[in-house]
Amino acid sequence: MPWTRTLLAASAVCVLLLTGSAACGSGARGPGDGGVSPSPVGKVLDDTDGDGRHYREVGKDEAPEVAIEVQPDPDGDGSGWDVRLTLHAFRFSPAGAEARAVAGRGLAYLFVDGRLVTRLRALDHRLPADLVPRGTHQVTVRLYADDGTVWAVDGDPVESTADVTASEAETGTGTKTDTETDTETKTATEMDTETKTATTTGTAAGTAEAPTPTASAPVPGAALSAPGTRFRTGGQGSPDRAGKAS
């Protein structure tokens, strides 16, 4: 009957449409749909970082940017360093984000002298002092996509480096020691000055009162500070042979 043929034709059209849709969907995903298919964000390069993570090349117009600033602890107790990041065209993904590359998203890795010390999802970080011992060091921040690839432009990773120098003055120990040493030196000088003053006073008094000299009496040259006066060492009235006043 005519209505039966019409119904069958409509059913065939529906089946064809459904099959075509499925085929189109399958072709869009391509083989190996499980995270290994090419990502539409940038181009994955053969170049890798020190841990074997591939660079993901993007154009300059869409590339993220990062800058780093490292300052000593403002409290001055030498307990660490304050790290501050500045981002452009980039946002941190929340913890547990899907492991896939999304333009302008991801996290930052923080390195000290090329060694990974932490992963960051915030602009501020406190770097412990023991990770930056005495001397000059390089603190580097590098941007990564959530799939572990390194954001890159013109074959170079998107990163920023700050040179920092840790010294005794920043830990407080060296400065305190130096101050104590200077203080002790100054005190010893003052004591020496006081001793010399006491010796001079005693010599002047001895010249005026002519006390009986002893074996520990000042050297004869000290008595020459009074011109024309002879210093005697014996009780027989003999002159001192060490010299006469001119």
Q: What is the C-alpha separation between 82 and 125, in angstroms, rounded?
A: 6
Among residues 162, 161, 150, the alpha carbon closest in space to that of 63 is found at: 150
State yes or no: pLDDT of 230 exceeds 60. no
Rounded-to-10 torsion of CA 64, 91, 55, 109: 110
Please tell me the predicted confidence (pLDDT) of residue 241.
41
Tell me the pTM: 0.55
CA angle 211, 212, 214 (to 5 degrees): 120
Average pLDDT score over residue span 25-29: 39
What is the structure's pLDDT at 39?
54
Joined together, the tokens standing for residue 190 give 């003052």
> What are 33's two structure tokens?
């749909």
pLDDT tens per residue, range 154-170: 999 999 999 999 986 54
**pLDDT tens-digit profile of 97-127?**
999 999 999 999 999 999 999 999 999 999 9
CB neighbours of residue 102 within 10 Å? 15
3 state SS of 21: helix
